[in-house]
Structure 1
Amino acid sequence: MSNRNEFGITHLRHVDLAVPDYDTQRSFYKDTWGLTETGTDGDLSYLATEGSPEQYVIRLRKAAEKRLDLISFGAEDDAAVDALAARLAAAGVTIVAAPDQLQTAGGGYGFRFFDVDGRTIEISSGVQTRRHRAVEEGEAIPVRISHAVMNSDDINRTREFYETHLGFKLTDSLWGQHMGEMMHFMRCNDWHHSLALAKGPHTSVHHVSFEMRGLDEYMRGTGRVMRAGIRKVWGPGRHMAGNNTFSYFLDPSGNTMEYTTELERLETDQWHPSVYDIADPMTQDQWGTADPMSELIAKESFNDKDRGVFVAPPV
Structure 2
Amino acid sequence: METSMTQRLITHLRHVDLAVPDYRQQLEFYTNTWGLKPEHNDTGLTFLAAEGSPEQYVVRLRESDDKRIDLIAFGAANAADVDAIAARLASDGVRLVSEPGALQTPGGGYGFRFFDNEGRTVEISADVAVRQHRAIEEGESIPVRLSHVVINSADPEGTRAFYEKHLAFALSDTLMHPRMGEMMYFMRINAWHHSLAIARGPHPSLHHASFELRGLDEYMRGTGRVLRAGVEKIWGPGRHLAGNNTFSYFLDPSGNTMEYTTELELVDEDTWHPHLYDFTQPEVSDQWGTANAMNEFVAQKSFNDPDKGLFLAPPV
The alignment partner of 2:113 has SS state of strand
2:303 — aligned with what? 302
- The correspondence of residues 219-258 of structure 1 with structure 2, limited to 5 A, is 219-258=220-259
Aligned-partner residue type, residue 309 of structure 2: G
TM-score (norm 1): 0.98
> Are the aligned partners of 1:152 and 1:202 in contact in 2 as well (CA < 8 Å)?
yes
1:187 — aligned with what? 188
Q: Does 1:270 align with 2:278?
A: no
User: 1:143 deviation in Å?
Assistant: 0.4
List runs of 5+ in structure 2 lacking aligned partners.
1-5
Distance 2:175 2:99 in 1: 36
Map Cα deviations across residues 266-298 of structure 1 (whole Å, 9 max, x no partner): 124121100000111000000000011100000
> Are the aligned partners of 2:48 and 2:59 in contact in 1 as well (CA < 8 Å)?
yes
1:159 — aligned with what? 160
The alignment partner of 2:192 has SS state of coil
Map Cα deviations across residues 210-260 of structure 1 (whole Å, 9 max, x no partner): 000000000000000000000000000000000000000000100000000
> Are the aligned partners of 1:7 and 1:80 in contact in 2 as well (CA < 8 Å)?
no
2:83 — aligned with what? 82
1:289 — aligned with what? 290
User: 1:149 deviation in Å?
Assistant: 0.1
> Are the aligned partners of 2:8 and 2:169 in contact in 1 as well (CA < 8 Å)?
no
Runs of 4+ aligned structure 1 residues displaced above 3 Å come to none
User: 1:6 deviation in Å?
Assistant: 2.5
List runs of 5+ in structure 1 lacking aligned partners.
none
Percentage of matched positions with identical amino acids:
66
Distance 2:268 2:312 in 1: 39
User: 1:29 deviation in Å?
Assistant: 0.5
User: 1:7 deviation in Å?
Assistant: 3.0
2:146 — aligned with what? 145
Distance 2:32 2:67 in 1: 21
1:198 — aligned with what? 199
User: 1:42 deviation in Å?
Assistant: 2.0
The alignment partner of 2:83 has SS state of helix
1:259 — aligned with what? 260
Map Cα deviations across residues 58-83 of structure 1 (whole Å, 9 max, x no partner): 00001111111000000010000000
Aligned-partner residue type, residue 173 of structure 2: D
The alignment partner of 1:303 has SS state of coil
The alignment partner of 2:266 has SS state of coil
Aligned-partner residue type, residue 64 of structure 1: D
Aligned-partner residue type, residue 156 of structure 1: E
The alignment partner of 1:117 has SS state of coil
Aligned-partner residue type, residue 283 of structure 1: V
Distance 2:131 2:92 in 1: 35
1:110 — aligned with what? 111
Aligned-partner residue type, residue 59 of structure 2: I
Q: Does 1:57 align with 2:55?
A: no
2:22 — aligned with what? 21
User: 1:197 deviation in Å?
Assistant: 0.1
Across the aligned residues of Structure 1 and Structure 2, the Cα RMSD in angstroms comes to: 0.8
Distance 1:296 1:126 in 2: 43
The alignment partner of 1:241 has SS state of coil
- The correspondence of residues 36-55 of structure 1 with structure 2, limited to 5 A, is 36-55=37-56
Distance 2:28 2:283 in 1: 36
Aligned-partner residue type, residue 254 of structure 2: S
Distance 2:295 2:7 in 1: 38
The alignment partner of 2:81 has SS state of helix
